[in-house]
Chain A
């Protein structure tokens, strides 16, 4: 499918151009105007460059960037979902240490090349998770006194 990267380039640069134009529009309409002098300057250059890139993508002249293959996307998706849930919901709702333990273990299980039928590999993953969390707890909670959101049990 030689056209897949090209279409993707059009979509990607289209999104960037969309952001550029909206930023440009916003900076010329927001008040107070003296606070927006610098944003106006930047967003104008931003929009021009973004439209140029979009034009190049439309003409199929984009030189760099490999785009995404369906294969890669299918491999990314589960990890990405775990990441989204972990960062945007679980970290705050369940607490950093609880959610990290769960997310860490799931990610390890998802992407570990070892056989999932072996009991030994599960133990190994659990041990790695425990080790990592112990280091994080030692470094951030005990040494640096970082005050993380309340844990789920709390």
Chain B
């Protein structure tokens, strides 16, 4: 009760104070919440927990960030909530996954678009890779495409869902190679898609580099190609799709970062945009991310705004034919 009364007293002072606290100099005054639209334990959730672990430090926000998971339908549930129901008071942050939410908004059936959110900063970039089971006869992307050419529509390959990064990569591959394949979306995210590759339920799969790196280290899968512009530091021996003769860019690379709902006060956005990238650069964060096999890629708010706009254009073009 004492706490409640003390809280009430502080709150009353706060009420009178809001008028002149326009500069949001004191933000944040209480713990901040970060909504992750994938389940606890998924790659996005795992990375979000690491990059926010130093939020309570004095040089960062000075207040802890609590992760709230709102999983479902490839992220649509969480982002819909973020766009329509989340309070834009600066205490509700969200994790974004590009190209996922942009592709979904282009495809329609959701209540958000890139305009519903304000980016703060980007923490990671996880390219999609093509994997096959360790005992598969396919050893390069050419083998995969040759099989698909000989058996149109019969090559089954898994991915984390429809209109997420993996699906974009799959569409790009079909378009670049001019083949028809059977994309099998999983309802259990990247982990479910990976399981179906290892168990031999499907012949191959598109998956996150970080998860595939681990599965390859355990000897369960072979990684045949990276859907990015350059080879990745984690996998220096695996060629990109472009090197293997397919005209595929980095449109499917899964960028992860922090955003707030539209309508959040500009003062708070500016403050977050200044502190959050520095928070990601913390040495402990980088160490844990590297240990977990998660590639980091820090971008500021302006860079992210640019990246969102560029992605939106590419994706509109790619998805136009569907």
Contacts and interface: CB of A to CB of B under 8 A. Distances in A.
**Is any CB of A less than 8 Å from a CB of B in the complex?**
yes
Contact of A153 (B3, B8, B66, B68): B8
Contacts, number: 30
A151 B66 contact: no
Contact of B11 (A134, A137, A145, A151): A151
Contacts of A133: 1, 4
B26 to A, nearest CB: 15
Interface residues of B, number: 16
Nearest to A149: B87
Given A151-B11, A154-B14, A137 B33 contact: no
A153 B14 CA distance: 10
A11 interface: no
Interface in B1-37: 1, 3-4, 7-8, 11-12, 14-15, 30-31, 33
B4 A147 contact: no
Contacts of A153: 7-8, 11-12
B113 to A, nearest CB: 21
A130 interface: yes
A153 B12 CA distance: 6
Given A151-B11, A153-B11, A154-B11, A137 B4 contact: yes
A97 interface: yes
Interface of A: 97-98, 130, 133-134, 137, 145, 147, 151, 153-154
Interface of B: 1, 3-4, 7-8, 11-12, 14-15, 30-31, 33, 64, 66, 68, 91
